Structure 1
Amino acid sequence: MKLQNNTILITGGTGGFGFEFASRLLALGNTVIITGRNWEKLQEVKKQLPAVHIIQSDVSRAEDISHLYETVTREFPALNILINNAGEMRKISLHHQHELTDITREIEINLMGPIRMVQQFLPHLKKQAQAVIVNVSSGIALMPFPISPIYSASKAGLRSYTQALRVQLKKTNISVMELVAPGSTTALNDKFINEDGFNPKALMAPDKIVAAAIKGMQQDKEEVYPGLAKIMRIISRVAPKLALAQAGKMGASYMYGN
């Protein structure tokens, strides 16, 4: 796909991959809209990227998505690319007590959010000459990461949903791409820095991950595996038990402690 003169909506655009997507896609000559829960952070991005359009919206809230759809399709009718990037990752010990309304938060943001976004915007995208949906999953979608069990489930679910979506849309004008992102030097991973077994050297810079994703979009790739995600893909297939055992070593004292 030619990544010029498109109208692009990016969820979770105030930092990490979302900010990198916005910056690079603006530079290529596209109209870019970003969303985020925090209005102050959205305004900060607007200062850095004056051409970007900002809308406060929370993908975990169905009513926010409905309002977002009404606003975007009214003000940006040429919208033809949706990038489902918003995400949350927490370390959770299942031995501890958790509020039932909180324990599923990553499911609501990382899985239900993209599903609802696609369902809401699909009729509009079908009207465009060419459209693209990009779902940002994770190398953790390929194998569980025990210290983040709910995040693992959400990304595995998103990967399965994305594959099914691609099949159902194969006879339409809409392409579906999955960015299988490796661990990155974003705020998402800051909470793991002091955990035993954490290796910051294994993290990949977000600009390199997004550069690979954009190249994949330009080449009409169905899946993009930057950096260590390629290795995780192979290991998850040939030695899944070994992969899980290694992943289970990180943060062991937190998971098994009282």
Structure 2
Amino acid sequence: MNITGNTILITGGGSGIGRALAEALHAKGNTVIIAGRRERVLDEVTQANPGMASMLLDIRDKADIAAFARDAVARFPALNVVINNAGIMKDEDILDSGDLAIAEETVETNLLGPIRLTAALLPHLLAQPRATVMTVSSGLAFVPLAVTPAYSATKAAIHSWSMSLRHQLRDTSTQVIELAPPYVQTELRGPEQAVDPLAMPLADFIAEVMTILETQPDAEEVIVERCKPLRFAEQNGNLAAVFGMVNSQH
């Protein structure tokens, strides 16, 4: 992926990794469109970044995704990059049947949302001279956090789906990149995560991601150093130990 000269759509661009990535790519001279459900939050980001655009999107709503994709292509005909960043992460007690709603919402947001949006935009992307679909999985795709079983499972599914999508698009001009963050200082699981010293500072994470994208334009996966112990745990033969470490405080 070239990191300049693109028209980039980022879902979940109002906060956390999505916002930080949008701002970093905007600073590189790309046209950036952030999407999300909270208009006030999106407006705050665009006002802080003149020239950045925003669009409302409920990634859980199948009909809204279809209408959104049509509108996005009409408004931004040069659109050639979609970053499927929107996601939720909630603790679940599998023994509590009431938590089934959390699992269903998580699957709809984290897995069906990216699949539906990519499917809606893919005909347009395939018509571009060069295009990129970026998925956002997680280190937990490879070593699950047991208190967030649906989240971890959806990220494992996104990893698998990204591999298959990449293979099916191998003879096209559309590249598929998977970004797998480690534990990062955002508010994904709540305000305490944003100040947790065990989490990677957001600015450091984005800086490393941008360096990888700039120096490895053909990369299929973007894995920062902090995430490599999880990404390669099974390959390294220490999956059980890493799983125990990840889940030792829960």
TM range (shorter): over 0.9
Shift of the 211–153 alpha-carbon distance from structure 1 to 2, 3 Å rule, reads same
Counterpart among 231, 234, 239 of residue 233 in structure 1:
231
The one-letter code sitting in structure 2 at the alignment partner of 1:231 is P
Tell me the equivalent position of 1:163.
Answer: 163
Q: Could you report, residue by residue, the CA deviation over 1:173-196 in whole angstroms, capped at 9, with x for unpaired residues?
A: 011111110000000133676xxx
Where do 1:1-258 residues align within 5 Å?
1-98=1-98, 100-190=100-190, 200-218=196-214, 219=216, 220-237=218-235, 238-251=237-250
Distance 2:2 2:246 in 1: 38
> Relative to 1, partners in 2 of residues 1:122 and 1:242: Cα closer, same or farther, differing over 3 Å?
same
Partner of 2:171: helix, strand, or coil? coil
The TM-score with structure 1 as length reference comes to: 0.90
In the alignment, structure 1 segments of 5+ residues that lack a partner are 194-198, 252-258
Deviation at 1:101, TM superposition (A): 4.1
Once the 2 structures are TM-superposed, how far is the Cα of residue 201 of structure 1 from its aligned partner?
A: 2.8
Alignment partners' CA distance in 2, 1:192 and 1:156: 25
- Distance in 1 (CA, whole Å) between partners of 2:162 and 2:200 is 24
Farther off after superposition, 1-10 or 29-38: 1-10
Runs (4+) of structure 1 exceeding 4 A deviation are: none
Deviation at 1:100, TM superposition (A): 4.3
- RMSD of the TM alignment (CA)? 1.7
Q: Comparing 37-46 with 225-234, which one deviates more in the overlay? A: 225-234
Q: What is the alpha-carbon distance in structure 2 between the residues aligned to residue 171 and residue 214 of structure 1?
A: 26
Whether the aligned pair in 2 keeps the contact of 1:204 and 1:227 (CA below 8 Å) is: no
Unaligned runs of 5+ in 2: none
Once the two structures are overlaid, the 10-residue window that deviates more, 106-115 or 208-217, is 208-217
2 CA distance for matches of 1:45 and 1:181?
22
Q: Secondary structure at the match of 1:132?
A: strand
- Counting aligned pairs with the same residue, the percent is 35
Figure out how many residues of one structure are paired with residues of the other and give that number.
Answer: 246
Superposition TM-score, scaled by structure 2 size: 0.92
Deviations 1:98-132 (A, max 9, x none): 16444311111111111111111110000000001
